[in-house]
Amino acid sequence: MIYLKTDEEIEFMRVSNDIVARTLAEVGKRIRPGITTLQLDKIAESFIRDNGAVPSFFGYNGYPNSICTSVNDQVVHGIPSAYALKEGDVISVDCGAEKNGFHGDSCYTFCVGEVSDDVRQLLRTTKESLYVGIELAVAGKRLGDVGCAVQSYCENRGYSVVREMTGHGIGRSMHEEPRIPNFGKKGFGSKLKVGMVIAIEPMVNLGKQDIYIEDDGWTTRTSDNKISAHYEHTVAIRAGQADILSSFKYIDEFLENNEK
């Protein structure tokens, strides 16, 4: 069942996604060599709750924390721990928040200090592919159009796209139908309709597309131990142009200030 949202419900979701966006920025500001991923989790949980929301991930199917912190070859669902970040690491921070009965969801991959040019290019391409997919997330297009755009953009630049993990519908539940693959064929898949809200989230590997899940049942890694990147936006389907409910603007602001 695909649930279409009213304009009022979409505005509730915009509020939840703004909290997620600001949470990601608060976490991003603290990312540096030496800080543990569990410390980042506590920062995120406090910020979400201080803004009148609830962490969407906490307790979801037994998940023990408020954010996912996936480092280096961890693709998704990395569990915060005592691991201290090191110079040259990359970390994707996936965050969800529920307020007014609706969820927001977004992810950003951060560099820890200086990273190699190869890794920086992977992150840049993955982030760009997210927006390439979003351009086709409009009424009348199909899921295959979105997935094909992401896949083509990444594979044409020498990267591989994870198949097993996908984006998803979102609303009153954290995960709703439909699944949003980051690969596909133009003209295939469910047709996008006004009122659908979906999370588009390319997961792209520097090496092979193959992954495996660790014994904890969550942490997902690349099979060849090469770096993976992950970016995500929550998007409302409209006629003509997608409505991005989440935002990277707060992250962009502090990253620009750091470069000055």
Residue 36 is which amino acid?
T
Q: Provide the sign of the torsion angle of the four alpha carbons 39, 41, 47, 49, taken in this order.
A: negative
pLDDT of 257: 85
pLDDT (tens digit per residue) in 91-108: 999 999 999 999 999 999
Residue 239 is which amino acid?
A
Q: Give the whole-number percent of the chain exceeding pLDDT 70.
A: 100
Q: How far apart are CA 25 and CA 83, in angstroms?
A: 20
Q: Give me the phi and psi of 125, to 5 degrees please.
A: -65, -45
Core vs surface per residue 175-208: b (16+ CB within 10 A) or e: bbebbbbbbbeeeebeebeebbbbbbbbbbbbbe
Beta bridge partners of 61: none
Average pLDDT taken over every residue of the chain = 97
Angle at 110 between CA 105 and CA 111, to 5 degrees: 170
Write out 141-209 in H/E/C secondary structure.
CEHHHHHHHHHHHHHCCCCEECCCCCEEECCCCCCEEEEECCCCCCCCCCECCCCCEEEECCEEECCCC
> Which domains are delineated in the chain?
7-259 (3.90.230.10)
Q: Among 97, 58, 106, which Cα is nearest to 202's?
A: 106
Neighbouring CB atoms inside 10 A of 107's CB total 26
pLDDT (tens digit per residue) in 169-183: 999 999 999 999 999
Q: Give the whole-number percent of the chain exceeding pLDDT 90.
A: 98
In this predicted structure, the answer to whether residue 146 has a pLDDT above a threshold of 90 is yes
Q: How far apart are CA 134 and CA 136, in angstroms?
A: 5
pLDDT of 191: 97
Q: Among 107, 82, 102, which Cα is nearest to 25's?
A: 107
In this predicted structure, the answer to whether residue 86 has a pLDDT above a threshold of 90 is yes
pLDDT of 260: 65
Residues 9 and 244: beta-carbon distance below 8 Å: no
pLDDT (tens digit per residue) in 202-221: 999 999 999 999 999 999 99
pLDDT (tens digit per residue) in 11-67: 999 999 999 999 999 999 999 999 999 999 999 999 999 999 999 999 999 999 999
pLDDT (tens digit per residue) in 181-206: 999 999 999 999 999 999 999 999 99
Q: Higher pLDDT residue, 257 or 152?
A: 152
* Range with lowest mean pLDDT among 32-46, 112-126, 245-259: 245-259
